[in-house]
Amino acid sequence: MSGRGLSFTGGTIDKLESIKGWQAELSEAQFRRQLREIGLVIAAQTADLAPADKALYALRDVTGTVPSLPLIASSIMSKKLAAGADAIVLDVKCGHGAFMETFAEAKALAKLMVAIGERAGRKVVALITQMEQPLGHAVGNALEVEEAIMTLQGKGPKDFQTLVERVAVELLRVGTPQGKRLSAARAAQAVQEAITSGAALAKFRAFVVAQGGNGRQIDDPTLLPHASVIMPIVASRAGVVQGVDSRTIGLAVVALGGGRQKKGDSIDYGVGVMVHAKSGDTVKKGTPLCTVYAASEEAANRVKEQIMQAYRLSDTPTPPLPILYARVTKTGIEKIS
């Protein structure tokens, strides 16, 4: 069970609704049938499954309570537990582009959610991952769906591909019965086999179609919604990218119509930003830093300066940012180098 976007962060349901016909609200009978037949369901809250969370989710977005640690933990875990998952892997973002800006805050949230799950009799692992800059290249609903399709083909951006595969490995291991527990190496091999064989993409397509989505858009992502105006934003000087502010980029996408500024706002699924240059990259004057996808030139120009301010360039070399920071379980915290 997933939710919609909150403030500057995108929501899984919003992204999937960029696929024509895809439905997020399922009855319990539909949910159970699809789980049996397809083995994969992503749904929103309903009147029967975690109903209070839907109302609280929308209210948090407009009442300044999005960063509340108890509300974040209860919102995430209520959906996981209500859906009946017995093995859960959580991706806890850490950085200026996340609600948990520091490692200490992310660790506190991860520990709280692991404890909630364990007390409910679930096996839970949390990964603390970097969100100082956008993950992958795409920021925006349809753009991110297209990038996800590429990743299921093994062609995703390196940081996104690495994270997706690591989460899949963790889920395979935690979801395997105790007596048949997979090694990390065997789980990684199974994940690679699912990608290279096409099984991962085929499963995604089957899931989309089962929930009413247009399978042709998975076969040919160019059929997904696309903005009519495409505007590159280039470097004003040569230098090394010191950082890309995820929050600024996210707010720019909201301003373009890719998120909600108030409860009830509609979403333009085709708008967004493609980030080309990231921390540690060397750029020349005139190198495209990113590309804005907008409904009009006026809209693109409105966010141009905002997006430029998301980039910090200097002449000092800087290493690329890590992808994963730590792994949290009921037994403790393991740093990931």
Q: How many Å apart are CA 54 and CA 2, to the nearest integer?
A: 10
Residues 225-314, CATH architecture = Alpha-Beta Complex (3.90)
- 12-221+323-335 in CATH: which number? 3.40.1030.10
Q: How many Å apart are CA 120 and CA 45, to the nearest integer?
A: 20
Is pLDDT at 65 greater than 80 in this prediction? no
| Share of residues in the chain with pLDDT > 90 (%) | 71
**What pLDDT, in 10s, does the model give residues 171-220?**
999 988 766 778 999 999 999 999 999 999 999 999 999 999 999 999 99
In sequence order, the β-bridge partners of residue 240 are: 282, 314
**What pLDDT, in 10s, does the model give residues 305-327?**
999 999 999 999 999 999 999 99
pLDDT score at 58: 66
Domains of the chain, by residue range, sit at: 12-221+323-335, 225-314
Q: Max CA-CA distance within the chain? A: 60
Give yes or no on whether 12-221+323-335 and 225-314 have one common fold.
no
Q: How many Å apart are CA 146 and CA 171, to the nearest integer?
A: 23
Report the range out of 38-47, 87-96, 143-152 with the highest average pLDDT.
143-152
Burial class (CB in 10 A: 0-12, 13-18, 19+), 82: middle
